[in-house]
Homo-oligomer: A and B are copies of this chain.
């Protein structure tokens, strides 16, 4: 569960945000001013701070500094001031995002998702696609197999596989594959596709003659079935 601290001196906004965030099943803390905010984060760690800059007791940028001194918790700033200087000051102080009032609740929620998404996925490796027993890492151009036998793909095989894997479940026409991999003038050389799909299946499928993930749609094209 993601815990969010909302800092704002306007009870109305505080209430609205709390209701909206709770409805999205976030844990919500609230603080009416900067001092309370700093105290709250100290003895109640949270995953994200939504911070209004217009606080009664201290300047918002000071609050950011106070937090950044010892924690990397993401900070989304709310502000009525739309001037460039204010934004630059807040962002350079350590804020992760800056939203100008009046703002749509949907936008704020989307920005919250954007920040927390990167937070949770930060420690993990690059995105991978599992295909049967093999794990394909498109970014690193690497295939890991369960029995640690090395699987190596040639450049042409990677190109072909990448197109299919980036459109999971979708039917890709032969013409499109040929033109993407070999060039616009090769749209009719279907024998290339037969050749390389066979190679990919031999390297990735458990039973190459009975493909379960790299399937043929006769007369139309090929499809990657996750």
Contacts and interface: CB of A to CB of B under 8 A. Distances in A.
B169 A69 contact: no
B110 A91 contact: yes
Given A84-B106, A166-B66, A111 B91 contact: yes
A146 to B, nearest CB: 19
Contacts of A88: 106-107, 109-110
A140 interface: yes
Interface in A109-150: 109-111, 113-114, 117-118, 121-122, 126-127, 138-142
B72 A140 contact: no
B154 A142 contact: no
A154 B218 contact: yes
Interface in A54-84: 66, 68-72, 74, 84
Nearest to A127: B70
In the complex this chain forms, how many copies of it are found?
2
B219 A154 contact: yes
Contacts of A217: 141
A98 B98 CA distance: 10
A207 to B, nearest CB: 18
Contacts of A218: 154-155
A10 interface: no
Contacts of A142: 169, 171
A85 B140 CA distance: 34
A183 interface: no
A171 B158 CA distance: 13
Given A91-B113, A91-B114, A217-B141, A127 B69 contact: yes
23 contacts: A66-B166, A69-B127, A69-B138, A70-B138, A71-B126, A71-B127, A74-B118, A85-B106, A87-B107, A88-B106, A88-B109, A91-B113, A92-B113, A92-B114, A96-B118, A97-B97, A98-B111, A118-B118, A122-B122, A141-B220, A154-B218, A154-B219, A155-B219
